[in-house]
Structure 1
């Protein structure tokens, strides 16, 4: 189990930032980036996520925006390879020289092409939105895990404090009992007088 506790260095933060930005550009998730950095630095994925959200992310807002833009361009390029976009006719149509049926067909084609482009743009936007939602879900899961770990740690501290408190109370009782015993012995000694007999032995003489 990874349990590294040393401080983050500037080099560690740089590795974390570069890895997260690369995953964003490639359309991957930040959670995958945290796993990768955790393996390289012998840290937990939760620790990497906390470091990114609390410290490193604020320093790379511009880089994050640029990486998202590159990811969007990459996705658009992939779509261009798989499905060509609608291109309008190269020739200029003179509607005065064609009949009404041809004019109607061209207008419908224009509308269909426009709707296809609109649909493609909406699909791309939906994919971006879905990706952001998935990233937020993963970050929420990561924060929930960190919260659970902190709550467990607090519970352990509370149990340890209760144990120390009980031990302290027991020690106080022992000290009070010992003090009473000493006081009783002193009173017992004061209540008795001793004298030496003819043979040199001590004998108790009751106080009058």
Structure 2
């Protein structure tokens, strides 16, 4: 038994989830049954499938859900003998009923087929819109990546400039410190050269060395 997956959902998996859920709605099944079916196919838990459907996929198929509910009502009406379409109309779709994909014991009418095809068309339109949005998002991501690369390069350049400024500042401080020490030494040396002596009258006088 394969381990339960917890990775990100792909677009194909979202489409499979939508297809199975809409089919269960159309055929009168429950969403829980749909989640379990998808979970087995994708090696995911039914809870994960339910969360994905309610948090993201369901919003993309609002019109499809309404159409599937309408088709379910149509099928229920067809199953009721008192509300079945006239025999003349059902005879016109005998070829459709005998096709391999049709379930045995269910009468299919042109309105039901038309509704079904309209549902498929709307799903395709939604998928196309989703693909267009995905492409726009992908282009925007590429633009943001380019900006990120540019900002990273600019940051590296500014960092180098900052280091150069810091080095120049340290060099300037060292030069100023050496100059200060030189001035102090010159003052000390000048003071050492000054000498006092007493004259004949007993007064001190300054004598340069």
TM-score category of the 2 structures, normalised to the smaller one: 0.3 to 0.5
Point out the structure with max Rg over C-alpha.
2
